Amino acid sequence: MTYDEAWLAQQLQKPGYAVVGGLPARPLAPEAPEADLQGRIHQLCIHLGLLYYHPTKPQGSTPGWPDCVIVFPDGGPLYAWELKRAGAHPSPAQRRWREALDRVTHIATGLYTPADWPHLQALLTQRQP
């Protein structure tokens, strides 16, 4: 989608407007529900070509896991974000996950099969990368 430069300049002069991912984006109302923020983030990730994960069924999920995880496929940060509506507070499990994720010093990926169990057990018990 393209924008007329004069129109874009006019939009960006309005309070609260900004350029996000090359598109002008109106901010969410402070009282917007969490789902609106989640949807906006998801759409921006799609627009930017980022990998985005949001657990859609809390049943069976680990309590406290962040609402969304975002990865830059060509390298960069991994974001694990808990989202809340204004005035809401994280649960103890959400706080625990966030504090633990804030202390992460390394991310190791892998593809494992049941035959790898001894290796996985060693990784977890010896804190090896």
pLDDT at residue number 61: 82
- Any idea which of 24-28, 73-77, 103-107, 112-116 has the lowest mean pLDDT? 24-28
Q: Structure pTM?
A: 0.73
In sequence order, the 6+-apart residues with CB closer than 8 A to the CB of 31 are 85, 86
Hey, where are the domains in the chain?
A: 1-27, 31-126
* Backbone torsions φ then ψ of 10, nearest 5 degrees: -65, -45
10-to-14, 28, 51, 66, 101 alpha-carbon distances in Å: 7, 19, 32, 37, 41
Percentage above 70 pLDDT, the chain: 78
Indicate the CATH number of 31-126 among 1.10.10, 3.40.50, 3.40.1350, 3.30.1120: 3.40.1350
